[in-house]
Structure 1
Amino acid sequence: MSSSRDMELTQRFLALQGIAAEAAALAMRYFEDRDSLAISLKGAQDWLTEADGAVETLIRQRVAEAFPDDGVLGEEGGGAVADRLWIVDPIDGTANFAHGDRTWCVSIGFMMNGTPELGCIAAPALGEIYLARKGHGATLNGKPIRAAATNDIARSTLEHGWSPRLPVEQYLATVARLFGAGANVKRSASGALGVAAVACGRTDGYVEGHINSWDVAGGVVIAAEAGARVSDFFAGDWTSGNPIIVAAPGVADAVAEVSGIALSPAASGTD
């Protein structure tokens, strides 16, 4: 890595941690005062709260102040692809957030020249911060994490995320196949935290037939650095979403085969 590129990434990695902490604190203040929140639906089961916009606005302001030439792509404010790009989900798991469920997070990823380089998932209601830089490992609250050593899908716990963009019948059929293979299957309603759970070994795999970039941009770096195998979400046109599979190495091929979601061998995590 060139010294100038390394310096750029180091600067952004330090900034990422501060931005994520400030954004998480703001989100938590809204969460603790939910009764006063403006809450609406963008579509069927597509929740939006006042907090989503406020948190994303804060993140955009902080990025603009520190790196005015960088691009930002966010769930609420949109954006365009750039060589240096921050991808933001201000609150992933908004339905949970709106209902008082603590399973939600702020997810921020950073890409340079099309490659995911940095990731942070801050879940303040759970007291957790996941952090990773490509080639430098992954941590949870400052301690190194690794994907599980599970090597049998019949002993695995998997999560299958749901997307309203796909037929419910397709989702249920995949869940049935995973159960049929002997896996325990669940859904937490936060894709970012679903990926993080694989990274720290709480679950053995996360699959979803369609998910947006802001849900996984931070998590794919964290999971790969924790040794999980991660499908190449950012290959081709990812701006409108792609399938995703993140899994412990010992069950990744089996999960890919049963779920029908392709897993690129070249997308393995670090050893």
Structure 2
Amino acid sequence: METDEIEIRFWAAQAVARDAGRLAAEAYHRRAELDIERKGTQDLVSEADRACEDRIVGTLQHLFPEDGFLGEERGAKNTSAKAVWIIDPIDGTANFLRGIPLWCVSLGLLADGEFVIGVIYNPVTEELYAARRGKGATLNGRKIDVSPAKSLEESRLGIGYSYRRPPGPHAEAVKVLLDAHCEYSRLGSGALGLAFTADGRLEGYWESHINAWDVAAGLCIVKEAGGRVSDFLSGDGLTEGNEVLVSTPHLYPTFSTLLKVRS
């Protein structure tokens, strides 16, 4: 994809994320009234998730009718296109529904076999992370970089857990980190875990299995902030999910070894 094509989509994605964020924030403040469904174990979806994804797809489809889409709630459309938007309208729905302000809108663009645009917006804190290929990463327009930490004893790793996987390896990962004197956090939003790695609030983020819509934006943002990212798109990662590890370049080999990362 040409640079100018990426550039116009980059600015559009930020506007779309803010617009969807406003819609989600309105629902957040009346969350007790929302219709909610259970998709699986500890996996909820509300009418707000679907309304936000419809708003995002509708706007982007109007602006870029040739692009494809892969969304958490509405599925895939034209994914053989040259550019495919990967959308999580509300990442951290459980937090959203509980009134915990750790949730966000996440938009990534896949082109040329890589994530070339990433936008993550938390409407509660009004923090917008944005990056596009080769141009660095920003938070509310200010350049960001990954943490300068060099040792595990001064580090904190964000971790996530999917009920598609047995709990034993997750518990073992926590033990391994603590034995290495590395702190950990479980935020309930993979997208924010990656965003916080990009701006140095965390030294990394790991999850043994996560879906593409949770990480598409964050992988671009972390990479452009100077971080190292695992090969999430290996195999059928785009459609079936994969393991993910992002980190500072210095600590990536250590985290990878401790957690026995496969990719």
Q: Shared fold (TM-score greater than 0.5)?
A: yes
Q: Distance in 1 between matches of 2:246 and 2:69?
A: 25
Corresponding residue number in structure 1 for 2:102: 103
Q: Distance in 2 between matches of 1:125 and 1:11?
A: 26
Q: Distance in 2 between matches of 1:191 and 1:161?
A: 7
Corresponding residue number in structure 2 for 1:142: 141
Q: Distance in 1 between matches of 2:33 and 2:150?
A: 47
1:39 and 1:98 in contact (8 A); partners too: no
Could you tell me which of 43, 52, 77 is aligned with 2:49? 52
Shift of 1:18: 1.2
1:149 and 1:249 in contact (8 A); partners too: no
Deviates more, 1:69-78 or 1:149-158: 149-158
**Structure 2 letter corresponding to 1:17:** Q
Q: Distance in 2 between matches of 1:216 and 1:57?
A: 20
Corresponding residue number in structure 1 for 2:216: 217
Q: Distance in 1 between matches of 2:15 and 2:128?
A: 12
Could you tell me which of 10, 17, 25 is aligned with 1:20? 17
Could you tell me which of 28, 31, 35 is aligned with 1:34? 31
Q: Distance in 2 between matches of 1:205 and 1:151?
A: 12
Corresponding residue number in structure 1 for 2:226: 227
Deviations 1:34-89 (A, max 9, x none): 12111221111001111000000001101110011110100001105332100000
Corresponding residue number in structure 2 for 1:131: 130
| Aligned partner of residue 79 in structure 1, secondary structure | strand
Could you tell me which of 3, 7, 18 is aligned with 1:6? 3
The aligned runs of 1:1-271 (5 Å cut-off) are 5-80=2-77, 81-82=79-80, 83-238=82-237, 239-262=239-262
**Structure 1 letter corresponding to 2:32:** D
**Structure 2 letter corresponding to 1:144:** K
**Structure 2 letter corresponding to 1:76:** E
Shift of 1:11: 1.5
Deviations 1:141-196 (A, max 9, x none): 11000000111112211111111111011111111111111100110000000000
Q: Distance in 1 between matches of 2:134 and 2:142?
A: 16
Shift of 1:247: 0.5
Shift of 1:90: 0.4
Q: Which TM-score applies when normalising by structure 1?
A: 0.93
**Structure 1 letter corresponding to 2:235:** G
Deviations 1:97-119 (A, max 9, x none): 00000000000000113211000
Q: Distance in 2 between matches of 1:8 and 1:251?
A: 34
Q: Which TM-score applies when normalising by structure 2?
A: 0.96
Aligned-CA RMSD value: 1.1
Q: Distance in 2 between matches of 1:147 and 1:113?
A: 25
Count how many residue pairs are aligned between Structure 1 and Structure 2: 260
Which consecutive segments of 4 or more residues in structure 1 shift more than 2 A?
80-83
1:155 and 1:183 in contact (8 A); partners too: yes
Q: Distance in 1 between matches of 2:68 and 2:112?
A: 12
Gaps of 5+ in 1: 264-271
**Structure 1 letter corresponding to 2:144:** I
**Structure 2 letter corresponding to 1:186:** S
Shift of 1:262: 3.8
Shift of 1:236: 2.4
1:103 and 1:126 in contact (8 A); partners too: no
Q: Distance in 2 between matches of 1:179 and 1:247?
A: 17
Q: Distance in 2 between matches of 1:262 and 1:149?
A: 25
| Aligned partner of residue 161 in structure 2, secondary structure | coil
Deviates more, 1:172-181 or 1:208-217: 172-181
